[in-house]
């Protein structure tokens, strides 16, 4: 995620030049020869739209793209994004992903970054804690695949009952071990989320174990619980529970997106801290009063590329919505504001009045 953010920021602030940037997204689920043919057909058509003086740079960039079709990608790589520019300010950036991106090609003075912004908004990266009576398996999930697994277990004390301990002593030690077991789980979850910068947690397992772990979580971690899955693994195979956890996370993400659009709608309805429409959003971003850009994937290509580029360059939060009728009724884009643009205008006039004609405070 950190690398993706860094690459998006670099592309968003890429200086323009006479040489065009070729932006290519390849869906590797399709045969590579089909990808090469599709790219070739697009390049032949796109070349005609490029000015005569810049066509040599277009041809050079297209040639630099060819090695990608001979590259052997790992089995879990599902898509590749590539950005190439020739000329005096060359660029070659290739990013493989385990997520799926639709094939898409573009050429222009600036890189086409909306699919990357959309991917970042949907980036499935969270923690799943599956609890049972004797152990807890804690997973970091990245784009639907397990990227790290940590196992914590409870000490087995049953063999010591009657042989070393009385029943009262056994129950006392069991209570202490239960608490220690919960603390161990909380420590692993807290450290993993802090180390990786993760903001979402899914709790899974028997309802009794989920409830116990939830009660043991500190407030700042409990606030990040995105969902619960009341299902225990079948033996040692957690795959079914992990699949349900991914589905629970995606649903939580959709709910967050809907909540953001509802908040935008509420602010618009009462004339609060929001603007809608391409031109008002552009002006608001440029003025520096925007807190979050809310944008539909159905917005025309040129508008959405410009707005996400402006927002990325200013490190603004971006919420990408899919097929949301409420956002579509607002023209496909809106901004939640930190303050009204008029505040800056009024503040400017107040400072000017205070300084007076001499430029000194009166």
pLDDT reported for residue 46: 95
The candidate with the shortest Cα–Cα distance to 338, out of 288, 291, 279, 305, is: 291
Give SS3 for 315: coil
What pLDDT does 316 receive?
Answer: 94
Q: Domain 2-112 classified CATH 3.40.50.300? A: no
Give the residue among 82, 140, 89 at the shortest CA–CA distance from 116.
82
**pLDDT given at position 167:** 57
CA atoms within 13 A on the CB side of 308: 30
Looking at domain 125-254, which of 3.40.50.620, 3.40.50.1820, 3.40.50.2300, 3.30.420.60 is its CATH number? 3.30.420.60
Determine the pLDDT at residue 209.
87
- Helices 55-65 and 32-49: crossing angle in degrees, nearest 10, is 170
Whole-angstrom distance, CA of residue 76 vs CA of residue 235? 26
Q: For position 350, what pLDDT does the model report?
A: 43
pLDDT at 161: 46
- The pLDDT, as a whole number, for residue 172 is 57
| φ/ψ (deg, to 5) at 263 | -65, -40
Residues of the chain with pLDDT under 70: 1, 143-145, 147, 154-175, 235, 342-362
pTM for the whole structure: 0.74
Q: Where are the domains of the chain?
A: 2-112, 125-254, 273-346
pLDDT of residue 106: 95
Rounded CA-CA distance 61/80 in Å is 17
Fold of 273-346: 60s Ribosomal Protein L30; Chain: A; (3.30.1330)
């Amino acid at each position: 995620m950190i690398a993706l953010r860094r690459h998006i920021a670099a592309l968003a602030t890429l200086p323009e030049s006479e040489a065009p940037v070729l932006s290519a997204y390849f869906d590797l689920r399709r045969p590579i020869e089909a990808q090469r043919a599709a790219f070739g057909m697009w390049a032949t058509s796109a070349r005609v739209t490029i000015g005569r003086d810049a066509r040599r740079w277009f041809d050079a960039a297209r040639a630099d793209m060819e090695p990608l079709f001979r590259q052997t990608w790992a089995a879990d790589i599902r898509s590749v994004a590539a950005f190439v520019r020739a000329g005096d300010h060359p660029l070659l950036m290739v990013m493989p992903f385990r997520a799926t991106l639709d094939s898409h090609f573009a050429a222009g003075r600036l890189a086409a970054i909306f699919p990357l912004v959309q991917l970042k908004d949907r980036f499935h990266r969270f923690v799943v804690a599956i609890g049972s009576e004797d152990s807890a398996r804690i997973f970091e999930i990245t784009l639907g695949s397990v990227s790290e697994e940590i196992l914590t277990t409870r000490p087995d004390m049953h063999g010591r009952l009657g042989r070393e301990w009385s029943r009262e002593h056994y129950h006392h030690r069991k209570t202490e071990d239960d608490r220690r077991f919960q603390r161990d789980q909380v420590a692993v979850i807290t450290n993993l989320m802090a180390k990786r910068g993760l903001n979402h947690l899914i709790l899974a397992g028997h309802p009794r174990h989920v409830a116990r772990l939830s009660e043991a979580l500190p407030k700042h971690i409990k606030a990040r619980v995105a969902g619960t899955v009341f299902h225990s693994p079948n033996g040692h195979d957690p795959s079914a529970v992990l699949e349900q956890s991914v589905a629970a996370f995606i649903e939580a993400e959709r709910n967050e997106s809907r909540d953001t659009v509802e908040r935008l709608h509420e602010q618009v309805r009462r004339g609060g801290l929001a603007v809608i429409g391409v031109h008002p959003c552009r002006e608001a971003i440029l003025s520096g009063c925007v807190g979050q850009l809310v944008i539909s994937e159905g917005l025309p290509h040129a508008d959405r590329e410009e707005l996400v580029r402006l927002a990325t360059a200013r490190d603004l939060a971006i919420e990408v919505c899919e097929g949301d009728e409420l956002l579509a009724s607002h023209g496909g884009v809106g901004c939640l504001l930190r303050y009204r643009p008029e505040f800056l205008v009024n503040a400017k006039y107040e400072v000017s009045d205070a300084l007076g004609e001499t430029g000194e405070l009166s």
